[in-house]
Amino acid sequence: MNKDAVMVSMLAEQLLDYPLSPRRAEELAAEVKQLVDAVRDAAQVLQFDDAPAAFTTLIENAPD
Amino acid sequence: MNSDLTQLSLTEVAAAIASRKTSSVEVTRACLDRIDQWQPSRNCFIRIDREAALADAAECDRHLVSGNHPIGPLHGVPLAHKDIFYRASQISTAGSEIRRNWVATETATVLSRLDAAGAIQIGTLNMSEFAAGPTGHNMHYGNCANAYHRDYMAGGSSSGSGSAVGARLIYGSLGSDTGGSVRLPAAANGVVGLKPTYGRVSLHGALARAWSLDHVGLLTRTAADCARMLTVIAGPDQNDSTASKRPVPDYSASLTRSIKGVRIGVPDPAALGAIDDQVAAALEASLTVLQQLGAIVVQVPFADMSRLFRVAETIIKCEGASMHRPWLIKHAKDYTPLVRSRIEAGLLIPATRYIDALRLRKHLTAEFMDTTLAGVDVLHMPVMPFPVPTIAESEVEDTGDAVRKLIARITTLTRPMNLLGLPALSVPCGFCGRGLPIGFQLVGHPFQEGALLGIAHAFQQVTDYHLQQPVMQLT
- The interface predicted TM-score (ipTM) is 0.95
Give the per-residue pLDDT at B475: 46
Give the per-residue pLDDT at B268: 86
- Find all residues with CB under 8 Å of B94, minimum gap 6, and list them: B83, B84, B127, B129, B130, B131, B207
- Reference B182, options B381, B418, B464; nearest CA is B418
Interface test with A, best of B322, B353, B365 (most A CBs within 10 A): B353
Is A55 an 8 Å CB contact of chain B? yes
Give the per-residue pLDDT at A36: 97
Tell me, letter by letter, the H, E, C secondary structure of B284-305: HHHHHHHHHCCCEEEEECCCCH
Chain B CA closest to residue A15? B347
- Closest CB to B310: pick one of A28, A34, A55: A34
- Reference B252, options B220, B286, B284; nearest CA is B220
Is B360 an 8 Å CB contact of chain A? yes
DSSP B129: G
- Closest CB to B358: pick one of A31, A34, A52: A52
Do residues B48 and B122 make contact, with C-beta atoms less than 8 angstroms apart? yes
**Interhelix angle for B50-65 vs B24-42, to 10°?**
160
- Find all residues with CB under 8 Å of B158, minimum gap 6, and list them: B82, B125, B127, B131, B173, B175, B176, B177, B181, B182, B185, B217, B219
* Cα angle value B101/B74/B88 (rounded, 5°): 25
CB within 8 Å: B332 and A16: yes
Residue B260 has φ and ψ, to the nearest 5°, of -60, 125
Is B333 an 8 Å CB contact of chain A? no
The 10s digit of each residue's pLDDT in A16-31 is: 777 888 888 898 999 9
Give the per-residue pLDDT at B399: 62
- How many angstroms separate the CA atoms of B455 and B150, rounded? 31
CB within 8 Å: B353 and A36: yes
- Closest CB to A55: pick one of B325, B362, B447: B362
B101 residue type, one letter: N
- Closest CB to A59: pick one of B341, B348, B421: B421
Q: Which residues of chain B lie closer than 8 angstroms to A8, CB-CB? A: 348
Q: Which residues of chain A lie closer than 8 angstroms to B358, CB-CB? A: 52, 55
Parts of chain B with a pLDDT under 70: 398-400, 474-475
CB within 8 Å: A43 and B325: no
Sign of torsion over alpha carbons B158, B176, B289, B5: positive
- How many angstroms separate the CA atoms of A30 and B320, rounded? 19
pTM higher than 0.90 for the full model?
Answer: yes
Give the per-residue pLDDT at B398: 66
CB within 8 Å: A50 and B345: no
Do residues B390 and B148 make contact, with C-beta atoms less than 8 angstroms apart? no
The residues pairing with B298 across neighbouring beta strands, listed in sequence order, are B265
Is A14 an 8 Å CB contact of chain B? no
Strand order in the sheet with B120-125: B45-48, B120-125, B78-82
CB within 8 Å: A35 and B345: yes
**CB count in 10 Å sphere of residue B337:** 12
* Strand residue runs (E) in B44-169: 45-48, 78-82, 120-125
Is A10 an 8 Å CB contact of chain B? no
Cα→Cα distances B92→B56, B170, B205, B415, Å: 20, 19, 10, 25
Nearest-neighbour CA in chain A from B307: distance (Å): 6
